[in-house]
Structure 1
């Protein structure tokens, strides 16, 4: 087992308090801190300091011994790469509206852009790698998001509640075809509106949302969200697109899985996120970054699949460790919690790689070939596939919470 030293990503939408508090640093931070990365992503891999004082990145360690670090099956399946990235998200302001491609779409898009000679680091590159990017977000605090297209019939109800002269014809467009094709038609119409038309329609919609709130209507939360986005991005078509998405609130311990094609937008809160080790993002707006509308439309799923809130279930009856089960082959996230005074030991064995993250209290990680290593709040550790199983227990009798990231199926 090795302790990780992880990179903090200072994006503008981040919080000045969440990550510094987690890591025990002074609060507030001088600049927004948005993400804490744990893994072997080439853009910012975690670092490990060995007993002799030398330091190497986790990426270098995996590259030097992929079978020992990842296990034979994982190394073969994922081309000697760690297939997942674990993060802490600290969101103070909404992110961009975005979706991710399937494995087939990513592979095809990557080949197409390679053939076109688009540099992998170019601003207009959609597919810097040929892999899918499913993700799971698990709330540490109350966490707010837009995710997936709402059932069209319910959306028609919402649009009629905030009806304006400029909005009516779009509402009736969806009412005439309240299905996936109708959603596609309306979303495509809105996301491609001429700027002059958009600049006339958006203020109408925002005023209607204000009136809805004054009248204490049924869609208060949705209207507040649209107003928040409209204030920050007053000329962006994605504000209209937000009218079509499910508005979701997660409580601590709740999780949300975002499969390929799911249009989503994280609004506010702190969370643990696990995702495939990919950079493929198709943005829909609310950002100064590249937005490729035709390519976004190619990958979006308008089928209104259910967006269930996942609360995790025990790996086996009576087990303390609970797992958030998803369809993702690249990763699996599990967690364990000990209340004050509980001291039950938890054995963590795995045929593949593991990252352990302590988000509350402190944990003692006991290795068969050595004494316990203390994992404090905000700290994380790497366990290679060829490491022996470890036993985890809370330190000092205080409440403690652990998250474990593994490759899917390990």
Structure 2
């Protein structure tokens, strides 16, 4: 029988949008135990974490010790696996404009093409900034979108039939832009760059963003914490984040990437939802965590049932107790060092260390010079 608390070795995932070398926080944290780049910290089979001590996949360890590590509550609700997948991402340039299918669509796509869509689950997610972070997520309010399409270079994408600018018109415009030829996109971007800042009004920042994206990709390819629902359109632009999502790796890409890498534009457009039309609806605010024994832990609780994320931030010579939860947890130290007491043992910890914590385990953190720990747990 395995221990209920054990250190993980987390593996890499490389993408062209990632930061290079020591510029990447994913590098700095992941190299503490093994490889580096985008850092996955779960039992998902594509890029599984492993026990640092014995080299066994976390998925295999959980399968052999379900009751001890997951607990009955988690097994009954989510099955014999972690229901969440935490990651560290370091973004140098915009990654593909994307959305994640909901459960109904994910099931159909998995049955049709299991090689590309490797599970039947949805993929709502949260992103918590670890550095200055830029993200495109959701949609502007319609009253801010409509004036942009009064700019002469964008008028060609408007459908002729819609009388008002509503969600369905926005869906149609999105699909039309994505389906436009390379020459049309290049010409539109060139024309937009000549429009005066006064015509853009309060959205003149788009001029700067357009130039940056053109430098990152060819013209044709082209916070603190947020919550992105399934089917929510988004693209991370720059920065280091800790990301956590429901257990899934399903994605529909359509933009900020070569045409050969794009999924069906019709499918992407049809899957979009338009529930978010303001910054406030995207923000995920932290609150004091009820798991905190000393008041030094915050919780990020997205409107979904698979997981919560907690942040414990300690200053010099402080301690904190995390009360036991009835479900599994995965934690990572993002800065600082000293010790974690858990299940009768004391573990030396420092930045980059990742641990699997079985259900029902109380944690005690101690530090001399400061400590910052994030942990995802089933909820």
Match of 2:353 in 1: 379
Indicate the RMSD between aligned Cα atoms, in angstroms: 2.6
Match of 2:365 in 1: 392
- Cα distance in 2, alignment partners of residues 173 and 303 from structure 1: 24
TM-score (norm 2): 0.87
Give 1:203's match in structure 2, choosing from 187, 190, 197.
190
- Native 8 Å contact 1:348 1:389 kept in 2: yes
User: CA 1:255–1:373 in structure 2 vs 1: closer, same or farther (change >3 Å)?
Assistant: same
Say which SS state the counterpart of residue 4 (structure 1) adopts: strand
- Native 8 Å contact 1:285 1:291 kept in 2: no
- Cα distance in 2, alignment partners of residues 180 and 303 from structure 1: 9
- Cα distance in 1, alignment partners of residues 263 and 203 from structure 2: 29
Match of 1:212 in 2: 197
- Runs of 5+ unmatched residues, structure 1: 26-30, 240-249
State the Cα distance separating 1:35 from its structure 2 match.
Answer: 0.8
- Cα distance in 2, alignment partners of residues 337 and 321 from structure 1: 7
- Runs of 5+ unmatched residues, structure 2: none
Match of 2:321 in 1: 346
Match of 2:238 in 1: 268
Per-residue CA distance 1:37-80 (angstroms, 9 max, x = gap): 11111012111144xxx321111101222222211121232231
Larger mean CA deviation between 167-176 and 297-306 belongs to: 167-176
Per-residue CA distance 1:295-342 (angstroms, 9 max, x = gap): 11221013434433223001249832211111222221111111234x
Match of 1:74 in 2: 74
Match of 1:246 in 2: none
Alignment of 1:282-293 (within 5 A): 282-288=252-258, 289-293=261-265
Is 1:294 equivalent to 2:266 in the alignment? yes
- Native 8 Å contact 1:367 1:390 kept in 2: yes
Give 2:373's match in structure 1, choosing from 402, 405, 410.
402
TM-score (norm 1): 0.81
User: CA 1:184–1:365 in structure 2 vs 1: closer, same or farther (change >3 Å)?
Assistant: same
- Native 8 Å contact 2:159 2:172 kept in 1: no
Is 1:228 equivalent to 2:228 in the alignment? no
Q: How many corresponding residue pairs?
A: 364
Is 1:367 equivalent to 2:342 in the alignment? yes
Give 1:309's match in structure 2, choosing from 267, 270, 283.
283
Say which SS state the counterpart of residue 235 (structure 2) adopts: strand
State the Cα distance separating 1:183 from its structure 2 match.
Answer: 0.9
Is 1:37 equivalent to 2:9 in the alignment? no
Per-residue CA distance 1:356-407 (angstroms, 9 max, x = gap): 111111142112423x21110111111112x5322222x22x1211111111
